[in-house]
Amino acid sequence: MWDAVRGVLVIVDMEHGALVEVAPDGGTRRHDLGGVAAAIRPRRRGGFVLATERGFRLLNEDLYPVGPAVPAFDDERLRMNDGACDPQGRFYCGSMAYDEAPGAGTLWRLEPNLSVHPVLHDLTISNGLQWTADGRTALHIDTPTNRIDRYDFDGASGAFTDRRPFVTIPQDAGHPDGMAIDTDDGVWVALWSGGAVHHYTADGALADVIEVNATDVTACAFGGPDRSTLYITTSRRDRGDADGPEAGAVFAVGTRVRGAVPHPFAG
């Protein structure tokens, strides 16, 4: 996520339990928290909310944990993976099994009062999550389906209903992972094993393909002063040439659009 207050990108080094600040000049500052750092978003009152291995933590402006941990589940076979906030300020994060067991994942909702509720069940690798500009449609990825799905979203209750495909990605193009959305409701999706980000228009047409020199592309987010720079994160799995020459790098690409401002957590 782009931290507009400080003008830096904040990324998760997930399995190392670390947050890394990336400045526009490429300089970095690392914060080692331990455990798992799955997904991070800003809070309305300042600071951040972080999804951890099996729950949530609040962080202050310096990315330091404050207050008690908020558990979501206690199954050690599972971990959190990716998430985002809805327009009303609730934070969602989806879980998955370490061994990627089918149907073991759940999409969890953290309310501003710090209560936790399951939203979607029987997921496998719950990944990217975004809302359209009108707040009436949620877009969600369960990676093994190779789809981005649309749901009708009830802002009052936080319920997801009427699941249907928005985009189906060809198997040979890679597998959908993290996702960003622009102010025109265009969707930008990172492709694990695909070495690229695909940009789809609001009606689901493929508009752009951004290739990078890394095989496993994990997420993307808009940032910069006018939110027109797309930042792209990648993973390194120590497979040599199969990972790509720049595996684990963060890339920055100028675009012709502006990214939607991520909704902050209201708690």
How is residue 259 annotated by DSSP? B
Phi, psi (5° rounding) for residue 103?
75, 5
Residue 154 is predicted with a pLDDT of 97
Active site positions, annotated: 177
Residue appearing with tokens 């993976």? 81
CB atoms within 10 A of CB 66: 11
Residue 240 is predicted with a pLDDT of 86
Residue 85 is predicted with a pLDDT of 98
Look over the chain and give the mean of its residue pLDDT values, rounded to a whole number.
97
Which tens digit of pLDDT belongs to each residue from 133-146?
A: 999 999 999 999 99
Closest CA to 198 of 216, 180, 222, 183: 180
Residue type, 140: H
CB atoms within 10 A of CB 238: 8
Q: Looking at the predicted structure, is the pLDDT value of residue 241 above 90?
A: no
Whole-Å CA distances, 193 to 197, 203, 234: 11, 25, 10
Residue 184 is predicted with a pLDDT of 98
Q: Are 105 and 98 in contact (CB under 8 A)?
A: no
Strand, helix or coil for residue 152: strand
Residue appearing with tokens 């934070």? 91
CATH number at 2-254: 2.120.10.30
Q: Where are the domains of the chain?
A: 2-254
- Overall average pLDDT of the 113-133 stretch: 98
Which tens digit of pLDDT belongs to each residue from 74-121?
A: 999 999 999 999 999 999 999 999 999 999 999 999 999 999 999 999
Q: Looking at the predicted structure, is the pLDDT value of residue 238 above 90?
A: no
Residue 245 is predicted with a pLDDT of 94
Strand partners, 18: 13, 32
pTM, entire model = 0.96
| 190: confidence class by pLDDT, cuts 50, 70, 90 | very high
| 239: confidence class by pLDDT, cuts 50, 70, 90 | confident
